[in-house]
Amino acid sequence: MRQYLVTFHKVVPDDSGHDHCVLQHHVVVPAESDVSAACAAKADFCEAAGIVDWRLRADTCLVEELTGLTA
């Protein structure tokens, strides 16, 4: 099974009006595909934050396969 790092970011402006991506949550997920990793990570984020939809706390969800790791 592959390992994926899934990160959630929120875009927030600073005092000068410049946008910054702020990390809201990250998790390493074992999954068969990037799509199933994203689904599992979204459920994890919602449970950890006590929310019903991950988009309440983040604007983006990025899925990256971790290579070179052995289980």
DSSP states of 34-60: HHHHHHHHHHHHHHHHT-S-GGGT-SE
Flag whether pLDDT at 61 surpasses 90. Answer: yes
Q: For the whole prediction, is pTM greater than 0.85?
A: yes
Residue 56, pLDDT above cutoff 70: yes
| Bridge partner list, 30 | 3
Q: What is the CATH number of domain 2-66?
A: 3.10.20
Provide the b/e sequence for 3-12 (b: ≥16 CB within 10 Å). Answer: bbebbbbbee
State the average pLDDT over residues 10-20: 93
Q: What's the pLDDT at 71?
A: 52
Residue 70 — very low, low, confident or very high, per pLDDT cuts 50/70/90? low
Q: How confident is the model at residue 68 (pLDDT cuts 50, 70, 90)?
A: confident
Coil vs helix vs strand at 18: coil
The answer to whether 28 touches 4, Cβ cutoff 8 Å, is: yes
Mean pLDDT across the stretch 57-62? 96
